[in-house]
Structure 1
Amino acid sequence: MSGHSRALEEVPEVSEAPRPDAQAIASRRAARLAAVQALYQMEMTGSSAATATDDLLAGRLPVDDQGVIDADVDSDLFRQIVEGAVANQSAMDTIIAGKLASGWKLERIDAVARAILRAGLVELWRRRDVPTPVVISEYIEIAKTFFDGAEPSFINATLDACVRSVRDSEPA
Structure 2
Amino acid sequence: MTAGTTSNLSGNQRRKMRSAARFFAVQALFQMETTGQTIENVTAEFANYRFGERFEDYDMVEADTDMFRRLVTDAVNWQAKIDQMTDRALVAKWPIARIDPTLRALFRAAGSELLDESTPTPPKVVITEFVGVAEAFFPDAKEPRFVNAVLDHMAREARPEAF
TM-score for the superposition, normalised by structure 1: 0.81
CA distance in 2, matches of 1:58, 1:24: 19
CA distance in 2, matches of 1:62, 1:84: 24
Q: Do residues 167 (structure 1) and 159 (structure 2) align?
A: yes
Higher relative contact order, structure no. (Cα contacts within 8 Å, ≥ 6 residues apart):
1
Q: CA deviation at 1:59?
A: 1.4
Q: What is the aligned partner in structure 1 of residue 102 from structure 2?
A: 112
Q: CA deviation at 1:121?
A: 1.1
In structure 2, the CA distance between the partners of 1:62 and 1:34, relative to structure 1 (3 Å rule), is farther
> What is the CA deviation profile of residues 70-99 of structure 1, one whole-angstrom value per residue up to 9, with x for unaligned ones?
3x2101100110000000101110110111
Q: CA deviation at 1:133?
A: 1.4
Aligned counterparts, 1:4-15, within 5 A: none
Identical positions, percent: 37
8 Å CA contact 2:26–2:106 kept in 1: the answer is yes
CA distance in 1, matches of 2:58, 2:74: 27
Q: CA deviation at 1:107?
A: 1.4
Task: List structure 1 runs of 4+ shifted beyond 6 angstroms.
Answer: none
Find 1:144's aligned residue among 121, 135, 144: 135
Unmatched 5+ stretches in structure 2: 1-9
Q: CA deviation at 1:112?
A: 0.5
TM-score for the superposition, normalised by structure 2: 0.85
CA distance in 1, matches of 2:26, 2:58: 16
Which structure is higher in helix share?
A: 2
CA distance in 1, matches of 2:81, 2:110: 14
Q: What is the root-mean-square deviation in Å for CA atoms of aligned residues?
A: 1.8
Q: CA deviation at 1:67?
A: 5.0
Aligned counterparts, 1:80-119, within 5 A: 80-119=70-109
